[in-house]
Structure 1
Amino acid sequence: ARAQLHQAEAAFRLAREQYRNSLFVAPFRATIAAIYFDSGEFVPAGQPVFLLVSPHGFKADVPIPETYWKDVQIGQTVLATFPDLPGKQYVGTVLWKETAIDPISRTFRARVVLKQTDSKLRAGMFGLFRIAVKTVTNMPVVPDNAISSRTEIVIDPQTGQSRYLQKHYVFVVEGGRARRKPVTIALESDTRVAIGTGLQAGDSLIVVGQKLVKDGQPVRVVE
């Protein structure tokens, strides 16, 4: 009888331990956004069972072109908008950024934490995040579709190594003819481009049909 009592106590302790291991406790106040396994299913070790979402803040890993790595700083303000939530804008900050560049996409990730959220914002939504990395003044700003680009291969005469160089240009009207002007880009936004060099205030920029004209071709300006 004593042996049976010990066996029963051992079985009880094992059952109690298994019960405790079957409980899931969130490390923070959260809402279950997704469940990956049904009741009774076998869960392999290390596999996530739930997706938890905190109602007090959202994080997003934002891919950013490598050229802005030095400009993005921890603590910078971020403005976020979401196509599914028109008219609403959320404010966040940069929490951290990767120190390595992805060799395929040529981007790095910056983690953004939104300070303000509401019940309409959902995990997994597509968003547009804006970080003011540079301010320019007294520069011509033109529509992005006015810029044409071409890639050239440049060979170093000393080493013989080749590299790709992207050049930008626009078409302006001078003396009734289209003239191609090389330009440099100082800053880009969604639909606008700030021109660093190549354009002057008062230049007549061709913004319609610029992909069809050639350098020196006669053109007629239509007001």
Structure 2
Amino acid sequence: MPSRPSAPSRALVAAALGWLTLVSPAPAEEPLAVTAVTARTETPTARSTLIGEITAPETLQASFPLGGRLTAVRAQVGDHVLKGDELARIEQVQQAQALRAAEAQLSAAEAEHAAAQSAAQRQAQLFERGATTRSDRDSAADRFAAAVALKTQAEATLDQAKQALEDTVLTAPADATVTDRFGEPGQVVGAAQPVLELAVGQGFEATFNVPETVLTASRAAPAEVELSAIDRPGLTVTARVKEISPLVDPARGTVEATVALEENLPGLTYGDPVRGSTTWQDEPGISLPWSAISSGVEGPSVWVVSPEDNTVSERPITIARYSEHRILVEEGIAEGETVVTRGAQLLFPGRKVRIVEAPE
């Protein structure tokens, strides 16, 4: 029967096997398959589409100069009115009564005026003949002067009463289109409280609430906008940017922009929705897809492939701006360098890679 090896012999054999394992060469690491792009300088082109509203170049708010209860509002939103057309009425009972009282006061003043004038003339003639005293003549003259003043006051009161009655009827100050209505019959309105909004003048405009990021995405704001009706996208007109508000809406982060239509869109009027599209180009720069970005220790970074040995290194970058599908790099990448776009999560500095085509 063969003899079993002693314990020291077994220890020597184990040590020899361990040494052989250490000195044996490790199998070569397979290059990691990744997709990549070559950094190129591009001139980014962006297109933005927003929904706005047709507005008037000039609007005014029609109101009564005095307060009262509305008895009628004859104009509806969208109505075309001519200068002098009646738009609304308020109660005129007090004004009508004041007018009748003023007319009666004027009639009494005119009667007193006529009587005082006749008496003054008669006393003047009698005084010339020596048939009356100077005191009577002067008293008649004073009465006539008071009658003249009373008549003048009564005429002014009548004019005010007539104007107050006219003010109970709201009329169109010019040819216009009704764009909004703020009052209904039975409602009590105050003096100068708007009842209707009117669009006056010629032409149309459109207003848009533009996200602030859209306006800051380009160094030069677009000068023209292509407008089209919501239900008829094929029918378009060109509009020019008229005004961009300097204020940002803190709640929505938008800026109001106004464009002026070069010609009217058939079938559209004030208040109708409209689609506005604009295209602009930015300064040339290195553009990369979103998938190329990694999160490095110092911020955004990309993995750059060395052309000599196909190893990768992490490169911090400075991003100038984000777009819908790409990023514009300000610093960190030079034109012609190869940047990994897929597979970056498995990379480490010095890792060999094999570039393959991206799947469809």
Q: TM-score, normalised by structure 2?
A: 0.38
In 2, Cα distance between equivalents of 1:180 and 1:115: 50
Cα separation, 2, equivalents of 1:183 and 1:90: 40
How many percent identity over aligned positions? 15
Q: Distance in 2 between matches of 1:6 and 1:147?
A: 92
Tell me how far 1:22 sits from its aligned partner: 2.4
Q: Which residue number corresponds to residue 4 of structure 1?
A: 104
- RMSD between superposed Cα atoms in Å: 5.1
Q: Secondary structure at the match of 2:171?
A: coil
1:184 to 291, 313, 319: 319
**Alpha-carbon distance in structure 1 between the residues aligned to 2:230 and 2:294:** 29
Match of 1:111 among 254, 258, 261: 258
Contact kept? 1:98, 1:108, Cα under 8 Å? yes
SS of equivalent to 1:4: helix
Residue 328 of structure 2: SS of its match in structure 1? strand
Cα distance, 1:137 vs. partner? 4.5
Aligned amino acid, residue 184 of structure 2: D
Residue 216 of structure 1 pairs with residue 347 of structure 2: yes
Check conservation: 1:58, 1:117, Cα contact below 8 A.
Answer: no
Where does the alignment leave 5 or more consecutive residues of structure 1 unmatched? 155-166
Residue deviations 1:62-113 (CA, integer Å, cap 9, x gap): 445273697348xx32334564543343322222333455666665443322
Q: When you count helix as a share of all residues, which structure comes out higher?
A: 2
Q: Work out the CA distance in 1 between the residues paired with 2:269 and 2:197.
A: 16
Return closer, same or farther for 1:4/1:182 CA change in 2, 3 Å cut-off: same
Read off the aligned partner of 1:184 and give its amino acid letter: I
Q: Return the index of the structure with the highest Cα Rg.
A: 2
Structure number with greater CO (CA < 8 Å, separation at least 6) is: 2
Structure 2 partner of 1:125: 273
SS in structure 1 of the partner of residue 233 of structure 2: coil
Q: Unpaired runs of 5+ in structure 2?
A: 1-101, 108-153
Letter matched to residue 222 of structure 1: P
* Corresponding residue for residue 87 of structure 2: none
Is 1:56 aligned with 2:193?
Answer: no
Instruction: Give me the whole-angstrom Cα distance separating, in 2, the residues matched to 1:201 and 1:104.
Output: 44
> Aligned pair in 2 of structure 1 residues 149, 50: CA closer, same or farther (>3 Å)?
farther
Residues 3, 13 of structure 1: alpha-carbon distance in 2 compared, 3 angstrom cutoff: closer
- Which residue of the partner structure matches residue 328 of structure 2? 195
Shift of 1:47: 3.3
The alignment partner of 2:194 has SS state of coil
User: Aligned equivalents of 1:24 and 1:69: distance in 2?
Assistant: 48
Deviations 1:26-66 (A, max 9, x none): 55x43223322112422234433223346721231544527
Letter matched to residue 4 of structure 1: A
**Count of residue pairs the alignment pairs up:** 197
| Letter paired with 1:120 | L
Distance 1:125 1:15, change over 3 A: same
| Residues 19-168 of structure 1 aligned to structure 2 (within 5 Å) | 19-20=166-167, 22-27=169-174, 29-53=175-199, 56-60=203-207, 62-65=209-212, 67=216, 71-72=220-221, 76-81=223-228, 83-100=230-247, 108-118=255-265, 119-120=267-268, 122-123=270-271, 125=273, 127-130=275-278, 132=280, 134-137=281-284, 140=287, 142=289, 146=291
CA shift for structure 1 position 195? 2.5
**1:45–1:3 Cα change, 3 Å:** closer
